[in-house]
Structure 1
Amino acid sequence: MACYISLVFLLGFPAVYSGSHTLKYYITMLSTAYPGLPQYSVIAYVDDVRYGRYNSDTRHAEFLIQSLMVFSEHSEGLNKQAQLIETMQKAIMNFIMDSSNMTYDINYVFQIQAACVLHEDGTVDVYEEGALDGKQLVVFDKETVEFVPVTREAVLLAQWVNKQAFAKKYKILMENRCTQHLTLYLPYIKSYLDEKVPRVKLSSSESESGTKLHCRVYGFYPRDVEVKWIKNGRDEIHSEEAAQILPNPDGTYQIRVSVGVTPEGGATYSCHIDHSSLENPLVVLFETETKNSNITYILIAVGVIVLFLAFGLGFFIQRKMKGFKDSQQSASTNEQETALQENIL
């Protein structure tokens, strides 16, 4: 069942543009109780930072970031909101089971992703989509204010949900309560993260199509960043691959920008990073692996030569010392033999 629980998280929301902020809820409902897992659970994120959770075992909304503990006095309101949504999700789960003649002997997983997006100009967008065992069923249409079936099997579910006015309740909830919480929590989450300076790692790879240079920028916050490759300090190299800004578990972000190049003698390549945490754009020069390899080989060769000379010199000295000792022993033996002969005579 763990695979089903992770599958739905592959479903994504539309891109969030610069200056916008998002509050997202990941909701999981099991058809029956399962050992070690709450039957109902919610995980909440602001701009990809996990800040809160709720489940049917504790029935208590909990903050996961210390700076948000100042809002603990309105936790009762959060609990009521979470319990209301839990009741709605249970009703939807029961309808899915009954209308599809599913047996309760098998545990099915119904999940929802819901989000409100507050844009820089003050406008609000809301999104929601539901899936069963990782297969998308319905999506929320903000224009018609109704849930639209994605598959033929979900037609009855969409009709029933719309009849219950869940779509209108959801729209009101997300456009008001969700954006209120987003506006309230965002400054505290920002102070928790502060502005984190990006770190950079450059690398290259070879293929049949040629050489690719990779600029990986990671560990930065806020999300917005500009990363580009520059040739000879002035010419921008455009990437044929779409670079995506991805979240890290600690709330920071990462991105990798790759470009194809044709190596030229004397040409230089550098990665330029512009981020709000930097006073000036960061420029990192790419050093070719050939230069590094040549230096390595030279150092290895010099080391081998030095070792060989040291060994040869030691061997030479040893041979000389042995020859000197042999000559001394030979001279001493000759003197003894001469003295012995003189005594005999």
Structure 2
Amino acid sequence: MALAVCLVITLAVSAAHCGSHTLLYHITIVSAPTTGVPQYSIIMYVDGVQYGRYNSDIRQAETSIPSLRELSKHIEKQTQYVQEYEMSQRHKLKFLIGFYNNTKSDRDTHIYQSRLACELHDDGTIGGYQEIAFDGKALLIFDKENVTYVPVTQEAEIVAQLWNKHYDSTNTKLYMENDCIEHLKLYLPYISTDLERKVPPNVKVSNSESESGTKLHCRVYGFYPRDVEVKWIKNGRDEIHSEEAAQILPNPDGTYQIRVSVGVTPEGGATYSCHIDHSSLEKPLVVKFEPNNGRYLYIIISVIVTLLLLLLPFALGLCIYRKRKTKGIYFNIKISLY
């Protein structure tokens, strides 16, 4: 069965409050090997900026921020930790598969996701949260004050009871308030420059035609930091919602890219524009879509050339016929003169 990894826990991170900082771990485990998707992966963010990753393909923690490479010993310890942590997370995935076995037996691939974060506020206080999802549906939320997992929906109540019975939630609270905060304090001096770095986006708009209709594409690329808002507007006021989930993807140079596509029905006089809002911009960037008139001109020229090629044999035949007829008349006139 083809796997569609539906991430109910979004990778986007809300902007931190002024003076506060957040360290977030996004964990994904897939129950069976799937092309292009590591079975186990962790992506790490500080204040919404991705700074590191680990997955079952590379088998070591890596940082995407050059200044953090000075912490080589720390990164090695993190590699050991996440490898050990993988075992406990896989156990949780097996637990959920076993629990939902009767209702989800038609699936052969399952996905466990967790988003765990700690927060260091400007007044010195700390916070944190954890969200857990299974097969694309939100399941549990960690209540740090009461040190327990609570269900997101009514149908998850039994899961929450069993989860709290099988897994010690005290460890989650201790990690949020101690190790996670210490790591955050360690990283901040190294990545402060990167957190302040801002690179404005490049934008390219285009369209494509298919049997289903016309699609407009807005490709935004080369921007930093990661958070960005991209949307299509019709006639300067009406937002066009996309039916496709747009993902922000990393570039090799540390910047990001995203493409937002929408289906439209062409209307006379209607205008379309792509609106981009990013922290590097003083005001939202608006790029209008201009129909590719050159494309239609090319089609018209192609049709004319084709018609000329089809008419050419007929024109040559007519020309030859007229020449022969004229020659015959001239010959007859010449004979009659004698």
**Does TM, normalized by the shorter one, top 0.5?**
yes
Alignment of 1:141-156 (within 5 A): 141-149=143-151, 150-156=156-162
Paired residue type of 2:287: V
The residue aligned with 1:43 is 42
Question: Which residue does 2:62 correspond to in 1?
Answer: 63
Retained in 1: the 8 A contact 2:233–2:240? no
What CA distance in whole angstroms lies between the structure 2 residues aligned with 1:153 and 1:16?
27
Identity between Structure 1 and Structure 2 (%): 21
Q: 1:70 corresponds to which letter in structure 2?
A: E
Q: Among 148, 158, 164, which residue is 1:158 paired with?
A: 164
Q: Deviations over 1:53-80 (max 9, x none)?
A: 165x99x643164835433232343245
For 2:287, which of 277, 284, 287 is the aligned residue?
284
Give the deviation of 1:319 after TM superposition: 3.6
Aligned residues: 305
Distance (whole Å) between structure 1 residues aligned to residue 199 and residue 26 of structure 2: 25
CA RMSD of aligned residues (A): 5.6
For 2:217 and 2:121, locate their aligned partners in 1 and report how far apart those are by CA, in whole Å.
Answer: 29
Corresponding letter in the other structure for 1:53: Y
Matched, 1:198 2:182: no
Q: 3-state SS of the aligned residue for 1:16? A: coil
The alpha carbon displacement at 1:133 in A equals 6.9
- C-alpha displacement of 1:161: 2.6
- Normalising by structure 2, we get a TM-score of 0.60
Contact 1:145 1:171 in 2 (8 A): no
Q: How does 1:1-345 map to 2 (within 5 A)?
A: 3=3, 10-13=7-10, 16-18=13-15, 23-28=24-29, 41-46=40-45, 47=48, 49=50, 51-53=52-54, 61-63=60-62, 65=64, 67=66, 68-79=68-79, 81-82=81-82, 85-86=85-86, 89=89, 96=95, 111-116=112-117, 126-130=128-132, 138-149=140-151, 150-162=156-168, 165-173=170-178, 175-177=180-182, 179-180=184-185, 183=188, 186=191, 195=199, 197-203=201-207, 214=216, 216-221=218-223, 222=225, 223-225=227-229, 227=231, 229=233, 231=235, 236-239=236-239, 241=241, 246-248=247-249, 250=251, 252-254=256-258, 256=260, 263=267, 265=269, 268-275=271-278, 282-288=285-291, 295=297, 298-300=300-302, 302-304=304-306, 306-307=308-309, 310-319=312-321
Is the 8 Å Cα contact of residues 120 and 181 (structure 2) preserved in structure 1?
no
Post-superposition shift, 1:237?
1.0
**Greater share of helix residues, 1 or 2?**
1
Q: Is the 8 A contact 1:226 1:273 kept in 2?
A: yes
Unaligned runs of 5+ in 1: 35-39, 339-345
- Structure with higher Rg: it is 1
* Equivalent pair of 1:124/1:175 in contact (CA under 8 Å): no
In 2, Cα distance between equivalents of 1:278 and 1:49: 21
Tell me how far apart the structure 1 counterparts of residues 249 and 11 of structure 2 sit (CA, whole Å): 19
